[in-house]
Amino acid sequence: MHMVATPNRKMQRVLQFSMGLTLAYVVATFVFGIRAHSLALISEAGHNVSDLLAIILSFVAVYFQARPATEEKTFGYQRAGVLAAFVNAIMLVVLSVWIAIAAIHRLDVPVAVQPKLMMYVAAAGVLMNGTVATLLWRFSGDVNIRSVFLHMLGDTLSTAAVIAGGAAILFTGMTWIDPALSIIIAAMILWSSIGIVRETLNILLEGTPRNLQLAAVRNAMESVEGVVNVHDLHIWSLGSHSRALASHVTIPEMPMSECSSILEAINCALRERFHIHHTTIQFETRGCETTHGCSAPPQLEAVGAHDHHHGHSHSH
């Protein structure tokens, strides 16, 4: 438990610090955005409000993830962070659409902006967002923290764009640059959010983890000596790091003592090659055509059935 707690405490401290900085910057960008009549700055404030919510959600998720499993929550709260990242990303998609609509309206009805004020506030923003992004980068292996890190990285880049836009308006006097920047910022937010929506949705829908091929796992299991075939194979993510596997494994009839060495070899292969630590493996000596209770993915049914009929003629 202590091994989990220490990185978690560090993560919580980083998130608390990030919350304070972001809140101060949200207030500043909104107030100065109104004073400078800059939609790019106001959209930055909006972007940062979503960041603030993202950090708060992640903070709550990190707190929950550290809690142990209970009888009601047998896997603990490993998905809390994934759920937080999903909610975050959905909010960002909505925000990016709102910014784009406001910017298109602003292109139609131009407003004079104060470029110098835009640049000063944006410069402070680059500093703030860059600091938070750097702090979070160390923990970005976690999808929950990565969703916040991507927010912050996107913010750093979009705030730098606001500085460039301010300079361009100052030298050319073209006010359309401000809403045009807002549209680019909105596109960036949308692009990073959709990636997180897809990744978190895959985990929440019990999808096979990214970067993992079901066929490769099956081959590794079937290459263990004594395994006739592997079917009813399911792999899913508990959280952004932990993976679980459940499978039926057909083996020849043998004494119990020999079964345990096959099981150990399978688990060893799964741990070392695929980082799967949580496994439920059911041994069978006959194919599943005699026992009902298989739920193999549809495209594997044909392969499974073929293997079952010829199961005993196989020798590995």
Taking only the tens place, the pLDDT of each residue in 193-205 is 888 888 888 888 8
The third-level CATH classification (topology) of the domain covering 214-313 is Alpha-Beta Plaits (3.30.70)
Give the model confidence (pLDDT) of 246-302 as tens digits. 999 988 887 777 788 888 999 999 999 888 888 988 888 876 554 445 555 544 444
Q: What CA–CA distance (Å, rounded) separates 241 from 232?
A: 23
**Residues 105-119: what's their mean pLDDT?**
80
CATH 1.20.1510.10-classified regions of the chain:
2-204
Give the model confidence (pLDDT) of 231-246 as tens digits. 889 998 877 667 889 9
The dihedrals phi and psi of 205, each to the nearest 5 degrees, come to -95, 15
Find, among 287, 214, 216, 282, the residue nearest to 249 by Cα: 282
Q: What CA–CA distance (Å, rounded) separates 308 from 284?
A: 11
183 DSSP assignment: H
Let me know: does 188 contact 154? Beta carbons within 8 Å: yes
Count the Cβ atoms, other than its own, within 10 Å of residue 258. 12
The architecture (CATH level 2) of 2-204 comes to Up-down Bundle (1.20)
Q: What angle, 0 to 180 degrees and rounded to 10, lies between the N-to-C axes of helices 80-108 and 39-65?
A: 170
- Over 50: is that where the pLDDT of 9 sits? yes
Give the model confidence (pLDDT) of 133-190 as tens digits. 888 887 776 777 777 787 777 778 777 888 888 888 888 888 888 888 888 878 877 8
Cα dihedral sign for 93, 96, 102, 105?
A: negative
Q: Percent of the chain at pLDDT above 70? A: 87
The CA-based angle 249-255-259, given to 5 degrees, is: 35
Whole-model pTM: value is 0.67
The dihedrals phi and psi of 238, each to the nearest 5 degrees, come to -80, -50
Reported as type and span, the H/E element at residue 90 is: helix 80-108
CATH 3.30.70.1350-classified regions of the chain:
214-313
DSSP code per residue over 127-171: HHHHHHHHHHHTTTTSHHHHHHHHHHHHHHHHHHHHHHHHHHHHH
More confident residue, 66 or 131: 131
Confidence of residue 218 (pLDDT cuts 50, 70, 90): very high
From the number of C-beta atoms within 10 Å of its C-beta (0-12, 13-18, 19+), residue 293 rates as exposed
**Residues 29-48: what's their mean pLDDT?**
80
- Over 70: is that where the pLDDT of 315 sits? no
